[in-house]
């Protein structure tokens, strides 16, 4: 199977990407009327939960879906009205969690491999809802076939974002026992991990390590654009899930790490996406975030570019005009529209999906058509494409009450103002059981594990 693009196609893609001018997120879209959104329920593989974690320019939504019983999640593609389970690499579960932007059928993600981790490590696997004790490994999927990507000598790896040139980024363990690794809160880590990029050449996949920022032992890459610009994190090993693993937000150009400006936090500084203008989005910790020597979670959604530096996008406000406690950006398109999640509580309770454009953050539930508002509460985003279509996750509403069923959804822009009554779901009843579920569920359908290192 040949995954490389032809030289002519690759050149055309790159030329189109280079034609996109750089611009500030505040100067992205001309003034226009309010856009509303129809919601398409993408369904599940038989369980009660599925998640739309990313979307490409062809409108393919990707993420994961639970099978009946809600004990197993499978990486899933929703394409042209079809729901396609992608399978696993031998373990029970798989997922797609980061910006998959390839429009030629290449998908990247993570799968459990069916082999108990030899060191008993949890690695980054719980961040994607995996809990079998298997190692989790990066995969490439195309034309119905899932292939394990090569690692760096350790037992675990993560396949994150990809681009139209067929490049995949992520992170992988090597064989080095890293003294900066810690075990805390049930999470166990011993081996060092590094940001990597995978490319398909001469009929096979090849892995190349991207160096961490100077002085840091560990790193991870999350997303890549069609210029080959890569974003990710750099820091210490920690528990391999954020925190001090993300002391520095990093942009790699030509394989060299450049430290990005942050909002000043001591950790959790994580770019999640980068568009073809070179504008990144994600979440930074906002100071003060150290209490009694321990790192606290205080996320704020941000954008960053070389020209503008870092911009704090803030949070949504509650019905009393008080700002939410936390926010995260999950994706940004080439129009500099940003999507993400704002959380009312510092414990990740009360999540509401947002879109940020023209300098303003708006709850997506404000913008749903009236019919959609009666049936869906959009609490998490995954991705946004250049047509403004959004892959997301929504609770199903029944008789005005939010149920515990959370489905992958596709939000389609419409100019039909049948649509907006000005409400944002403030009066919708959300039972305590549902609130507890959302306290551990973050944007992109992933689970946050708020561990404070020893």
pTM here?
A: 0.89
**Domain at 296, CATH number:** 2.130.10.10
pLDDT at 34: 81
Res. 24 pLDDT band, cuts 50 70 90: very low
Find residue 67's DSSP bridge partners.
45, 46
pLDDT at 20: 42
pLDDT in tens, 80-113: 999 999 999 999 999 999 999 999 999 999 999 9
Give Dmax (Cα) for the chain.
60
pLDDT at 198: 98
Res. 27 pLDDT band, cuts 50 70 90: very low
Q: What is the C-alpha to C-alpha distance for residues 137 and 153, in angstroms, rounded to an integer?
A: 12
Least confident of 214-218, 413-417, 428-432: 428-432
pLDDT in tens, 275-293: 999 999 999 999 999 998 8
Least confident of 125-134, 266-275, 343-352, 433-442: 433-442
Question: Which residue has tokens 């279509």?
Answer: 389
Res. 429 pLDDT band, cuts 50 70 90: low
Measure the N-to-C terminal CA separation of the chain; round to a whole number of Å. 47
Residue 11 belongs to a domain = no
pLDDT at 319: 81
Least confident of 55-64, 171-180, 407-416: 407-416
Residue 157 belongs to a domain = yes
pLDDT at 176: 98
Residue 34 belongs to a domain = yes
**Nearest Cα to Cα of residue 404 among 374, 370, 438, 381:** 438
Q: What is the C-alpha to C-alpha distance for residues 379 and 393, in angstroms, rounded to an integer?
A: 6
139 pLDDT higher than 60: yes
388 vs 320, higher pLDDT: 388
pLDDT at 57: 97
Average pLDDT of the residues of the chain? 88
Query: Rounded to the nearest 5 degrees, what angle is found at the Cα of 167, between the Cα atoms of 305 and 409?
Result: 75
Least confident of 24-28, 180-184, 229-233: 24-28
Residue 60 belongs to a domain = yes
Res. 48 pLDDT band, cuts 50 70 90: very high
Q: What is the C-alpha to C-alpha distance for residues 143 and 93, in angstroms, rounded to an integer?
A: 20
Q: Which residue range forms the structural domain that includes residue 440? A: 25-445
High-pLDDT (> 70) share of the chain, %: 84
29 pLDDT higher than 60: no
Residue 452 belongs to a domain = no
Of 146-150, 419-423, 446-450, the range with the highest mean pLDDT is 146-150
Res. 200 pLDDT band, cuts 50 70 90: very high
Average confidence (pLDDT) over 338-349: 93
pLDDT at 454: 33
Q: What is the C-alpha to C-alpha distance for residues 449 and 453, in angstroms, rounded to an integer?
A: 12
Structural domain tally of the chain?
1
Residue 117 belongs to a domain = yes
10 pLDDT higher than 60: no
């Amino acid at each position: 199977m040949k995954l490389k693009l032809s030289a002519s196609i690759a050149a055309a893609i790159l030329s189109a990407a280079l034609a996109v001018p750089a611009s500030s997120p505040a100067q992205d879209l001309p003034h226009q009327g309010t856009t509303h959104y129809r919601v398409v329920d993408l369904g599940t593989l038989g369980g009660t939960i599925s998640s739309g974690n990313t979307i490409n320019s062809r409108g393919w939504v990707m993420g994961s879906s639970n099978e009946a019983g809600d004990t197993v999640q499978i990486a899933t593609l929703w394409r042209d009205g079809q729901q396609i389970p992608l399978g696993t690499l031998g373990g029970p579960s798989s997922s797609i969690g980061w910006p998959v932007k390839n429009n030629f059928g290449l998908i990247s993600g993570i799968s459990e491999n069916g082999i108990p981790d030899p060191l008993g490590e949890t690695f980054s696997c719980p961040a994607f809802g995996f809990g079998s004790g298997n190692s989790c490994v990066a995969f490439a999927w195309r034309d119905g076939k899932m292939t394990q990507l090569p690692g760096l000598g350790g037992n675990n790896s993560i396949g994150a974002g990809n681009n139209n040139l067929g490049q995949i980024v992520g992170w992988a363990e090597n064989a080095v026992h890293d003294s900066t690794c810690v075990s805390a809160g049930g999470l166990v880590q011993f081996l060092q991990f590094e940001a990597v990029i995978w490319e398909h050449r001469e009929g096979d996949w090849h892995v190349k390590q991207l160096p961490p920022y100077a002085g840091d032992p560990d790193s991870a890459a999350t997303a890549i654009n069609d210029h080959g610009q890569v974003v990710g994190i750099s820091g210490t090993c920690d528990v391999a899930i954020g925190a001090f693993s993300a002391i520095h937000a990093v942009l790699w150009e030509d394989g060299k790490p450049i430290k990005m400006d942050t909002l000043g936090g001591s950790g959790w500084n994580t770019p999640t996406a980068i568009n073809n203008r070179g504008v990144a989005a994600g979440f930074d910790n906002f100071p003060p975030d150290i209490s009694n020597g321990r790192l606290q979670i205080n996320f704020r959604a941000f954008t960053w570019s070389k020209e503008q530096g870092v911009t704090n996008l803030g949070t949504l406000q509650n019905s009393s005009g008080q700002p939410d406690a936390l926010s995260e950006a999950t994706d940004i398109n080439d129009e500099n529209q940003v999507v993400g999640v704002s959380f009312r509580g510092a414990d990740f309770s009360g999540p509401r999906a947002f879109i940020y454009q023209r300098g303003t953050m708006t709850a997506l539930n404000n913008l749903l058509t009236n019919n959609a508002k009666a049936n869906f509460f959009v609490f998490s985003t995954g991705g946004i494409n250049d047509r403004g279509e959004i892959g997301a996750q929504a609770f199903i509403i029944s008789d005005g009450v939010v149920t515990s069923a959370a489905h992958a959804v596709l939000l389609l822009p419409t100019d039909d103002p049948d649509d907006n009554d000005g409400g944002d779901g403030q009066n919708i009843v959300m039972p305590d059981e549902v609130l507890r579920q959302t306290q551990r569920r973050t944007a992109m359908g992933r689970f946050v594990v708020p561990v404070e290192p020893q």
